[in-house]
């Protein structure tokens, strides 16, 4: 193991590598990693390059930049074709070679594939995506600790939100001040997502009816946004008396991010909004209790929807004009990891999974209500551990 | 043309569509667009879905979300397979079908390809990437106007930087306050890049020797960053007397972004640093004069490198420990569009191209110096028009 490139301690690297090799073995004889999130998962550092990970034995790493990290098993490589030549000289030919087909571009995968086909014409290429996604869904104790640390800092920022608000502010102005507070607390700002179904700058602050504006992205809530090139979130509405403000901002403080939403209000809001907010908290509690290893994710969604239905809030659940088709999602390095808590999900909960639950409601003329917390799935039948612990009540910004 | 989905006026849409159809015709009989940047280019709005653009005739658009925009020629489609069926029912079979293979994932392209192969088994698929990249390099007058508007607002923020600085600040703290100032000025924050060679939150503020820390990304300058999950930029160094601070922050105010860098100092800095900074300005002027239609981009790089060499600053040019292999780049919707001003570039300048020039130098013990401006290539032999006009001198933050 190379101590200058790899930032993990010996035990952690050994654990992660063995998990990765299990994942590789489930679909192939070796994998070539090219996605920055996967390389970071394996080494604790984002770098430009590739990793060749055999199902058995020692990986080889290739660096396209930052050649100061060159050392045993870590070579500087101008291009993938050179890396393929070096790998083929050192390793036996695999029967099946797994590539990151879900996260790298078609052209990039085709080039990697051709480079290795030139060395190993008989190797069959397969997609490593599903196996790596399942592997990343379960966090190691160190990764969970990094998420807990993100949660603590995100919580500290949320606790300051009532003091950040000043009368007359727009949703956008409040968001900018929360962004600054987050950054000063150490938020990295980067909002890593897998795939291209999501774009967001640093968070989503929604007030009044803007909460119900459909967005093109796969988020729980929408919002018109400030510009048609990024149509999501705050739209510059003044925060009005009788309306809520829902705050869902970036929790990436350590490379592993938490996800937390809290709702605020300006003055009194209708009883229906308060009731829906309490229902959101109740759904979170119930789902946290259900969230034990072996639980089908689908059942958690059904329970949440059933509770919304029982309260007569089904048509306000996860949006109104456009409803999101999930109530929670895995997260860690990226905001949309496995499992997904959705009606057709085939994911099964396992110890060490990190899951954000966000049962939200949109109340016409008022705005969005509800909370979101990040949880860790534990053993021994205990409920999921909540790692985002800012107060859950709707706080009046007027006080 | 659908007025609810498409936000461009009639003439602008007609112009863009005709340019796109020229690009499509150069490589295929029709193209399927799936990348958000390309869909935004064509319609003036980011949406979730697809566009089928024949080389001749009217495009068909498919919406995966925001179905309120449904209308003539714009259909709601749950999945690409449905869209393919609708397109095939309305359009003649193309001989060659171009897909966005450089920007969409392997899996996404494979799925699009299979969906259309089920309708049109004889159609050959090709890569639309190069043709669309060349198309997007040349901006329409309206797009140039959007870039000018970004430049004006970015300039306003830069003019306020000396007032933002307070003694004892770290590079990171200064960056956070510039971010806030930018956001309050209307900066969208989003930093769109093509491909996976770049990651950045909202900008790069470098002081002292951190400017020379190699980064894994394809930027002109590096920096260690605050965390190994995003190793670029400010590292929390206090801005020290005798050092420079280079500020290169996000200029995306309209969906079309400008790129501008300015250098500040705290107290006196060595003559070599001042000389290198003046050389950067001189290189910009010279290259702006050279930047006329028909000019090979490669020649501009050679001129810049020649000037650095003549001044004995070749080993400080575009970094020291790790040197970037370019001196400028096209930009617009994304920060790394064509052309690239680099030694092996085959790009040729054309009227309407927008190019950022950033001849920068790293001076040991001092930091980075130099400027960056965004320019528009004009007809009639005039020099490129500079659209980022904050003062270019090194401003002393101590004053």
Taking the Cβ of residue A79 and every Cβ of chain B, the question of whether any pair is shorter than 8 Å is answered with no
H or E segment and range at residue B103: none
E-strand stretches of A238-359: 244-249, 251-252, 257-258, 262-265, 328-330, 337-341, 354-357
- B287-312 mean pLDDT: 98
Question: Exposed, middle or buried, A217 (CB in 10 Å: 0-12/13-18/19+)?
Answer: buried
Question: CB–CB of B354/B330 below 8 Å?
Answer: yes
For residue B114, give every residue at least 6 positions away whose Cβ sits within 8 Å of its Cβ, in sequence order, or none: none
CA distance B33 to chain A (A): 13
Task: Give the one of A68, A105, A322 whose C-beta lies nearest to B104's C-beta.
Answer: A105
Q: Which SS3 state, helix, strand or coil, does residue A184 take? A: helix
Are the beta carbons of B255 and A230 separated by less than 8 Å?
yes
Tens-digit pLDDT profile for residues B322-350: 999 999 999 999 999 999 999 999 999 99
A189 to chain B: which residues are within 8 Å by CB? 201-202
Cβ <8 Å between B105 and A201: no
Same domain, B179 and B248: yes
Taking 60 as the threshold, does the pLDDT of residue B29 lie above it?
yes
Please answer yes or no on whether A229 and B46 come within 8 Å at the CB atom: yes
Residue linked to tokens 């930027």: B219
Average pLDDT over residues B75-94: 96
* Interface contact flag, A183 B176, Cβ < 8 Å: yes
What spatial distance separates the first Cα and last Cα of chain B, rounded to whole Å? Answer: 56
Number of domains in chain B: 2
Per-residue pLDDT band at A338 (split at 50, 70, 90): very high
Report strand pairing: B385-386 vs B373-376: antiparallel
- Report the distance separating Cα A102 and Cα A84, nearest Å: 21
Chain A residues within an 8 Å CB radius of B127 = 106-107
Task: Identify whether A4 is part of a domain.
Answer: no
Cα gap B323→B128, rounded to integer Å: 31
The reply to whether B109 touches chain A by the CB within 8 Å rule is yes
Same domain, A338 and A228: yes
> Is B212 near chain A, with CB under 8 Å?
no
Contact of B189 with chain A, judged by CB distance below 8 Å, is answered with: yes
3-state DSSP assignment of residue B261: strand
The pLDDT value given to residue B68: 84
SS3 A19: helix
pLDDT tens, residue by residue, A309-334: 999 999 999 999 999 999 999 999 99
- Is residue B244 a contact partner of residue B273, using CB atoms and an 8 Å limit? yes
pLDDT in tens, A290-311: 999 999 999 999 999 999 999 9
Interface test with B, best of A169, A216, A228, A231 (most B CBs within 10 A): A216
Average pLDDT over chain A, rounded to whole? 96
Assigned domain for B2 exists: no
B174 within a domain of the structure (yes/no): yes
d(CA A58, CA A73): 8
| pLDDT band for position B3 (cuts 50, 70, 90) | low
Which chain A residues have a beta carbon less than 8 Å from that of B186?
Answer: 226
Residue A104, min C-alpha distance to chain B (Å):
5
Q: Which of residues 264-293 of B touch A (CB under 8 A)?
A: none
Residue of B nearest to A170 (CA): B184
Task: Report whether A119 contacts A85 (CB < 8 A).
Answer: yes
Here the tokens at position A147 are 């998420």
Residue with tokens 């006196």: B268
Question: Residue A371: helix, strand or coil by DSSP?
Answer: coil
In 3D space, the residue among B369, B372, B373 whose CA is nearest the CA of residue B387 turns out to be B373
Owner of token pair 């995968």: A109
If asked whether residues B363 and B228 sit together in one domain, one would say yes
- B338 and B261 both lie in a single domain: yes
What sign does the CA torsion over B98, B102, B103, B104 have?
positive
A184 touches chain B (CB under 8 A): yes
- Can you give the CATH number for the domain in which B306 is found? 3.90.230.10
Mean pLDDT computed over A30-49: 97
Whether the CB of B119 is below 8 Å from some CB of chain A: the reply is no
A81-127, pLDDT tens digit by residue?
999 999 999 999 999 999 999 999 999 999 999 999 999 999 999 99
Same-domain pairing of B292 and B198: yes
pLDDT of residue A352: 98
List the structure tokens of A98: 């797994």
Contacts of B95 (CB under 8 A, 6+ apart): B29, B122, B123, B124
- CB of B325 within 8 Å of a chain A CB? The answer is no
Answer yes or no: are the C-beta atoms of B205 and B171 closer than 8 Å.
yes
Question: Per the omega criterion (within 30 degrees of 0), is the bond before A193 cis?
Answer: no
Q: Are A49 and A64 in contact (CB under 8 A)?
A: yes
Instruction: Please say whether the beta carbons of A286 and A307 come within 8 A.
Output: yes
Decide if B66 touches A, using CB distance below 8 A. yes
Asked if the Cβ–Cβ distance from B105 to A107 is below 8 Å, we say no
Task: Give the number of other Cβ atoms within 10 Å of residue A278's Cβ.
Answer: 16
Are residues A112 and A23 part of one domain?
yes
Helix (H) and strand (E) counts for chain B? 10, 19
Whether A372 shows a pLDDT value over 90: the answer reads yes
Helices (H) and strands (E) in chain A, counts: 9, 19
The reply to whether B294 touches chain A by the CB within 8 Å rule is: no
Helix, strand, coil percentages for chain A (3-state, nearest 5): 35, 20, 45
Contact assessment for residue A5 and residue A47, using Cβ atoms and an 8 Å cutoff: yes
Q: What confidence tier does A3 reach under pLDDT thresholds 50, 70, 90?
A: low
How many residues are recorded in chain A? Answer: 399
Q: Is the pLDDT of residue A1 over 70?
A: no
Domain that holds residue A220: 138-396
CB of B322 within 8 A of CB of B222? yes
**Residues in chain A closer than 8 A to B254 (CB atoms):** 227, 229
B114 touches chain A (CB under 8 A): no
Q: What residues in A contact B188, CB-CB < 8 Å?
A: 201, 226-227, 229-230
Instruction: Please indicate, yes or no, whether residues B119 and B199 belong to a single structural domain of this protein.
Output: no
Residue among B375, B396, B170 nearest B277 (CA): B396
Our CA-based measurement puts residue A289 at a distance from the nearest CA of chain B, in whole angstroms, of 33
* Among the listed residues B293, B330, B315, the one whose alpha carbon sits nearest the alpha carbon of residue B362: B315
Please tell me whether residues A215 and A289 are part of one structural domain: yes
- Phi and psi angles of residue B143, each rounded to the nearest 5 degrees, phi first: -65, -40
Average pLDDT value over all residues in chain B = 96
Q: Is residue B268 part of a domain?
A: yes
Do A228 and B202 make contact, defined as CB atoms within 8 angstroms? no
Nearest C-alpha neighbor of B98 from the set B20, B43, B41: B20
Give, in order, the Cα–Cα distances in Å from A79 to each of A50, A63, A75, A170, B327: 10, 9, 11, 49, 21
* Domain assignment present for B175: yes
Helix or strand run (H / E) with residue B61 = strand B60-63
For residue B107, CA distances in Å to A18, A31, A345, B180 come to 26, 16, 20, 38
Last residue of a domain, one of B105, B135, B165: B135
Is there a contact between A141 and A19 (Cβ–Cβ < 8 Å)? no
Same domain (yes/no): A237, A124: no
Closest-approach residue (CA) in chain A for B322 = A66
Are B180 and A179 inside 8 Å of each other by CB? yes
Selecting from A64, A106, A190 the residue whose C-beta is nearest the C-beta of B105 gives A106
Look up tokens 């960053």; give the residue: B225
Provide the CB-side half-sphere exposure for A166 (13 A, CA): 3
Q: Which CATH number goes with the domain that contains A126? A: 3.40.350.10
Q: What is the DSSP letter of B256?
A: S
Compute the half-sphere exposure of residue B68: CA atoms within 13 Å on the CB side of its CA: 9
B44 lies within 8 A of chain A by CB: yes
Query: Which of A204, A229, A230 best probes binding to B when mutated, by most B CB atoms within 10 angstroms?
Result: A229
Domain boundary among A135, A168, A194: A135
Report whether B191 contacts B201 (CB < 8 A). Answer: yes
Query: Could you tell me if B103 lies within 8 Å of chain A, comparing CB atoms?
Result: yes
Structure token pair of residue A194? 């897998």
In this prediction, residue A277 carries a pLDDT of 98
Cβ neighbours of residue B257 closer than 8 Å, sequence gap 6 or more = B147, B150, B191, B192, B250, B251, B331, B332, B333, B335
Report CA-CA distances (Å) from B200 to B38, B203, B382: 21, 7, 34
Which residue from B188, B217, B230 is facing A227, i.e. has the nearest CB? B188
What is the pTM assigned to this prediction?
0.97
CA torsion A153-A155-A160-A162 (nearest 10°) is 160
**H helical segments located in chain B:** 10-25, 36-43, 80-90, 106-119, 129-137, 141-159, 161-164, 171-184, 271-290, 297-310
All residues of chain A having their beta carbon less than 8 Å from the beta carbon of residue B37 are none
Both B89 and B153 in one domain: the answer is: no
pLDDT digits (tens, 9 = 90+) for A157-198: 999 999 999 999 999 999 999 999 999 999 999 999 999 899
Substitution target in A5, A13, A35, A46 with the highest count of B β-carbons within 10 Å is A46
A78 in contact with B, Cβ within 8 Å = no
Percent of residues in chain B assigned helix, strand, coil, to nearest 5:
35, 20, 45
| Domain contains B3 | no
> pLDDT-derived band of residue B2, with 50, 70 and 90 as boundaries?
low
Dist CA B287 CA B301 (whole Å): 9
Closest CA to A32 of A92, A121, A109: A109
CB contact under 8 A, A189 and B202: yes
Q: Which residue of A106, A192, A223, A225 is the best one to mutate when testing the B interface, meaning the one whose CB has the most B CBs within 10 A?
A: A106
Segment B118-138, tens digit of pLDDT: 999 999 999 999 999 999 999
Question: CA B388, CA B377: separation in Å to the nearest integer?
Answer: 14
State the count of interchain CB pairs (< 8 A) between A and B: 176
Per-residue pLDDT at B1 exceeds 60: no
Domain boundary among A94, A116, A135: A135
**Which residue of A lies nearest to B257 if distances are taken between CA atoms?**
A229
Q: Which residues of A touch B105 (CB under 8 A)?
A: 101-106, 195-196
Collapsing DSSP to helix, strand or coil, A259 comes out as coil
Structure tokens at B180: 């806030």
What CA–CA distance (Å, rounded) separates A189 from A250? 7
B279, B382: one domain:
yes
For residue A332, count other CB atoms closer than 10 A to its CB: 26
- CA of A125 to nearest chain B CA: how many angstroms apart? 12
Is the pLDDT at A4 greater than 90? The verdict is no
Q: Is residue B154 part of a domain?
A: yes
pLDDT above 60 for A358: yes
- Rounded to a whole number of angstroms, the CA Rg of chain A reads 23
Residue A251 contacts residue A258 (beta carbons within 8 Å): yes
Q: What's the confidence (pLDDT) of residue A201?
A: 95
Same domain, residue pair B222 and B294: yes
Q: Is the pLDDT of residue A397 over 60?
A: yes
Q: Per-residue pLDDT for A65 more than 60?
A: yes
Average pLDDT over residues A41-70: 94
CB neighbour list of residue B315: distance below 8 Å, 6 or more residues apart: none
Q: Which two tokens stand for residue B119?
A: 């309708």
Q: List C-alpha distances in Å: B373 to A378, B182, B196, B259.
A: 53, 17, 24, 6
DSSP letter at A99 equals E
> What whole-number percentage of chain A has pLDDT above 70?
99
In a domain, B1, yes or no: no
Q: Do A179 and B183 touch (CB under 8 A)?
A: yes
A58 touches chain B (CB under 8 A): no
């Amino acid at each position: 193991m190379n101590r200058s490139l790899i930032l993990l301690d010996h035990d952690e690297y050994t654990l992660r590598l063995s998990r990765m090799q299990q994942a590789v073995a489930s679909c192939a004889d070796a994998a070539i990693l090219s996605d920055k999130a996967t390389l970071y998962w394996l080494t604790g550092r984002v770098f430009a390059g590739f990793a060749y990970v055999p199902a058995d034995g020692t990986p080889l790493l290739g660096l396209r930049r930052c050649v100061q990290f060159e050392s045993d098993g870590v070579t500087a490589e101008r291009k993938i074709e050179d890396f393929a030549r070096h790998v083929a000289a050192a390793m036996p030919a695999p029967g099946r070679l797994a590539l990151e087909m879900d996260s790298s571009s078609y052209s990039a995968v085709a080039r990697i594939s051709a480079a290795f086909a030139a060395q190993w014409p008989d190797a069959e290429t397969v997609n490593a995506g599903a196996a790596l996604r399942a592997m990343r869904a379960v966090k190691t104790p160190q990764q969970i600790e990094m998420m807990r640390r993100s949660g603590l800092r995100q919580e500290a920022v949320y606790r300051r939100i009532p003091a950040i608000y000043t009368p007359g502010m727009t949703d956008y102005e409040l968001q900018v001040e929360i962004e600054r507070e987050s950054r000063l607390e150490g938020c990295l700002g980067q909002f890593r997502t897998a795939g291209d179904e999501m774009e967001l700058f640093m968070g989503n602050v929604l007030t009044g009816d803007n909460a119900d504006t459909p967005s093109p992205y796969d988020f729980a809530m929408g919002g018109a946004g400030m510009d048609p090139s990024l149509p999501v979130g705050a739209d510059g509405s003044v925060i009005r008396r009788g309306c809520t403000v829902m705050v869902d901002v970036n929790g990436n403080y350590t490379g592993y991010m938490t996800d937390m939403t809290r709702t605020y209000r300006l003055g009194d809001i209708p009883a229906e909004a308060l009731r829906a907010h309490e229902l959101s908290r109740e759904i979170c509690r119930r789902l946290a209790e259900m969230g034990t290893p072996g639980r089908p994710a689908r059942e958690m969604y059904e329970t949440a929807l059933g509770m919304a239905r029982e309260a007569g809030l089904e048509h306000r659940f996860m949006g109104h004009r456009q409803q999101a088709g999930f109530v929670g999602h895995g997260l860690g390095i990226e905001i949309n990891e496995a499992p997904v808590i959705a009606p057709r999900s085939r994911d099964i909960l396992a110890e060490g999974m990190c899951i954000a639950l966000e049962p939200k409601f949109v109340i016409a003329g008022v705005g969005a209500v509800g909370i979101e917390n990040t949880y860790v799935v534990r053993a021994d039948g205990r409920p999921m551990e909540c790692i985002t612990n800012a107060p859950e009540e709707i706080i009046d910004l007027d006080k």
